[in-house]
Amino acid sequence: MGSSSLNLEDVSSDSLTTELLRRPPGSGKGTQSPMIKDEYCLCHLATGDMLRAAVAAKTPLGVKAKEAMDKGELVSDELVVGIIDEAMKKPSCRKGFVLDGFPRTVGQAQMLDEMLEKQGVKIDKVLDFAIDDVILEERITGRWIHAASGRSYHTKFAPPKVPGIDDVTGEPLIQRKDDTVVVLRSRLEAFHKQTKPVIDYYWKKGIVAKLHAEKSPKEVKDEVQKVLS
């Protein structure tokens, strides 16, 4: 990968192809991915967004995806890989991409590799946002929001002046269902079960970079830059 001082015009797209992977909720992936996208002139491919865009644009693949969703079925891996394939051909992806939300299984990873190989492209780096579940629990279960305005607080890192009360309106704060301990633990259990084999798959290829996601955003950003330089 080239550093931010490198002339990206002189670098081939396959050397700038990056995969963002392993992102438990609260790990900071959402903070770092825009920086990577902007700093390295890459396009950001979030599978959920691409799927919705393909459906809205009524592309052939989007029509098939909508048919599946209307039936209450999951969109097949083949369709998702096809939509990624389409998106990669956009001019904005000429220098490479950050892939977000895919692959989640080894089968998906293998299918993605096969598609990329046909284009003469490969995954250059997998970023593993490694963080202890105890820290994630503290980060996420401490979140509270003011529903009407969207103002957010954290019981430890950014507490309201009065516990449970919005600073501006005096109205009660709420906690999103996904931010409760029970739901978080269930999500993390599913995440680890699903993702570890994918990490192992890429680890054998020698392209996984383990990041210390418990550190501050600035420190994690520095780690990312070192990995991608």
Catalytic residue numbers, as ranges? 29, 104, 143, 176, 187
* Helix/strand/coil for 144: strand
Token match 């509270």: residue? 144
Token match 């309106």: residue? 169
Length of the chain, in residues: 229
Distance between CA atoms of residues 59 and 54, nearest Å: 6
Residues 85/7, Cβ–Cβ less than 8 Å:
no
- 137: phi then psi, degrees, rounded to nearest 5: -60, -40
Pairing of strands 208-212, 126-130: parallel
Burial class of residue 5, CB neighbours in 10 A (0-12, 13-18, 19+): exposed
202 alpha-carbon distance from chain centroid: 16
